[in-house]
Amino acid sequence: MTNKKFAVTGMTCAACQASVEKTVCALPGVESVSVSLMTNSMTLDYDETVLTEESLFKAVSDAGYGAKNWVKREVTQAEEDAKYRAMIRRLISSAVFAVLMMYVTMGHMVGLPLPSFMNPHGHAWEPIVYAAVQVILAVPVILINRAYFTDGLKSALHRSPNMNTLVATGAAASMIYGIYIFVMMILGYTSGEEIHHYSEDLYFESVTMILTLITLGRTLETRARRHTSDAVRKLMNLSPKTAEIYRDGTVVTVKSDELVIGDRVIIRAGGSVPCDGVVVSGGGAADESVITGESVPVQKSEGDTLICGTILTSGYAEISAVHVGEDTTVAKITQLVEDAASSKAPVQKLADRISGIFVPVVCSIALVTFVLWMIFGGSLHQAVGFGISVLVISCPCALGLATPTAIMCGVGRGASLGILVKSADAIDVLHKSSVVVLDKTGTITEGRMRVSDAIPVGSADEAGLLTAAASLEGMSEHPIGMAIVDYASENGVTPASVEDFTQTFGGGVCGRMNGSEICGGNLAFLDESGVTVSDDVRAALVRLASEGKTPVLFAADGDVIGIIALRDNLKQSSIEAVRRFNELGMETVMLTGDNRTTAEAIAKEAGIAHVIAQVKPEEKASVVEHLMAGEQDGVFTDLKRRYVIMIGDGVNDAPALAMADCGMAVAHGTDIAIESAGVVLVRSDLTDAARAVKLSSAVMRNIAQNLAWAFGYNILCIPVAAGVLFPVFGIALTPMIASAAMSLSSVCVVSNALRLRRWNPDR
């Protein structure tokens, strides 16, 4: 199966989105399809041997829309900007004629003067001139907004009516009825009839105001929707357009897109980094807040990495390009945010199904309304008015925008906080989760062992212990051995040469130094090696382990010479993160391969409720699966399904991250494209995991509000527009008021979603 993204053109509302999705889903070879109105894109899983791109494009075209290969975001953004400017021009032009129309039709009601030859209540030809002027003002508005009619008719002919079909039908019905009345006035005048009473039944102002107000609503909606993608826009603009590099011994300026791996790039103070690279000369302070959220600049020197999009606030650096173009960190982050914004939450499926049948249902309701008022109301004017009101007040757009706008704003806000949410599904799962499983090393702790105690035993002194330990461990590449060597070096100890070195995985190391047999490792390894370990030493090992330390025994010629204890310190953020999880009512579980005593000490310090220790990496996924099913001994045994978050470093925890309902990967530096996780924490700060849970709750709450508004608006307004309140209360909505209400409904939904851009995770 191939996963590919395409651009879709011609979509204007949720009904269009549903139509494209239904058309493509029915094609042979298609496994799944997701169409996004927000990004005008379509993500497709399909078999290339069964379905060709030409066949796909033709099917979408036959449905009344357009499809093409996805282009760079900058190109798409430029097209959207051009469409927005064109819409503003349409709005201004329509508004000019609408204002003139309002003056002509309503000015006399508030005392504004009209020429005597346009008197609507005149007894000669003045009412005809009054009507003719309205025709003259209405026609330009129809021509300016002809896209509603052409698109609405095209969609109807393709049997996929959309929002434009409703608008075009309502406006056309108003215009046709107005022309009918205009003709009746002319016929009445020629027959000597008093025609001034016809002037109250003209619907030309409705045509003008329906189209103008709909265009106003679309313009406001488009403007608001542009703000929902501000996060993507800002990410796109992080990378500078040009870069200074050495070429053939001289400094030249090239486009950032033209950089190749290995180029020597010059970064000056205040300059933005155009690629990911390693500092080969110079250095300085780099502001990485745009990527990591950390406001304090990070000092960079030779050998350090500079990330694309960050700013060198001081100094001068030359870097060797490592990742360029679409492979840079900022490009990957941008792609993650775009993909997440294009994805669909499960809650959107209901809205999509309703949107797919919304327009035909509304057209049916409008027709029934017209017929019933003709039968029981007896007035053609009333029947037309109520039927048109039903058409123009209905709003599938609000339904279609309720979920994706909130998702896009939430994902964008998360990205600005260093929380990369990779799909809408992750947001849906996060807010339902009740259990958080945390890997220990590198997640709760710093992931770096440090010596905490060096305890000589018997006649040995600390210098002798460190010399033996550093000499032996210097032959090993194990993290514990490296930490011991570093500690010995810091204390001025020079290692001696070691012969006959051997290493036992998971046990320890042995060798010969200055004629003595020395070995180091855990208690079981030394017992197997024939070393005599006293009860006092064993008691010391238990005490050190209870303090969350990892003790290593060292012996020479069969006698223990000392203990070196190491500790992987808790991250400063871990205790606060666990406290926040507890406040959210979540069960916290530590999952580690360490021994139980050490793990429980770390868990107690961090405030974690449950510990599952001595678990091999390949067993972690099984443990997570049991936690999800509520059948993990020592934690849950009630067999109750729970939603589980797994937080790890994305390397040896990959199976567990993939197994969990939502995996969170703690990123390190530029390592942000971790496939097995649904959320990536760029700052490696565990408190961001708790913020991600709170963000998901805020997004889902916003979606619920939007859907409640969208459903409630249509359920309440359509009956009112149909005139159900008129017989008893005399309340009726004119087509003009109905069009204004429809326009505002979509704006309200998008505006509510925009509140997420200012969401404060610590409030």
Six-digit token pair at 100?
A: 């003139």
Cβ neighbours of residue 487 closer than 8 Å, sequence gap 6 or more: 450, 451, 454, 466, 564
Q: Alpha helix locations (H) across 36-111?
A: 53-62, 73-106
Alpha helices in 562-634 (DSSP H): 572-583, 596-606, 620-629
**Adjacent-strand bridge partners of 668:** 671
Amino acid type, 53: E
Give 498's DSSP letter: -
Q: CB neighbours of 174 closer than 8 A, spacing ≥ 6?
A: 203, 204, 206, 207, 210, 384, 388, 735
Q: State the alpha helices, DSSP H only, in 247-310.
A: 289-292
d(CA 690, CA 712): 33
532 pairs with which residues across the strands? 559
C-alpha span between 342 and 321 (Å, rounded):
31
What is the helix (H) or strand (E) element at residue 216, kind and residue range? Answer: helix 204-228
Closest CA to 372 of 723, 736, 735, 729: 723
* Contact predicate 669/650, CB 8 Å: no
What is the distance between the alpha carbons of residues 411 and 756, in angstroms, rounded to a whole number? 9
Name the one residue in this structure whose structure tokens are 């058409």.
391
List of residues 6+ apart from 503 with CB closer than 8 A: 475, 476, 509, 510
Output DSSP code: residue 694.
H
Round to whole Å and give the CA distance between 233 and 330: 12
Q: Find tokens 């975001």 and name the residue.
A: 73
What CA–CA distance (Å, rounded) separates 709 from 627?
Answer: 37
What value, to the nearest 5°, has the Cα angle with vertex 679 and ends 678 and 684?
145
Distance CA 624, CA 629 (A): 9
Whether the Cβ atoms of residue 148 and residue 165 lie closer than 8 Å to each other: no
Active site residue 201: no
H-run or E-run covering 390 = helix 380-393
Tokens of 293: 């959220």
Residue in 276, 439, 568, 653 annotated catalytic: 439
User: Please, are residues 541 and 453 in contact by the beta-carbon 8 Å criterion?
Assistant: no
Q: Which residue has the tokens 């799944």?
A: 32
Q: Which residues are catalytic?
A: 439
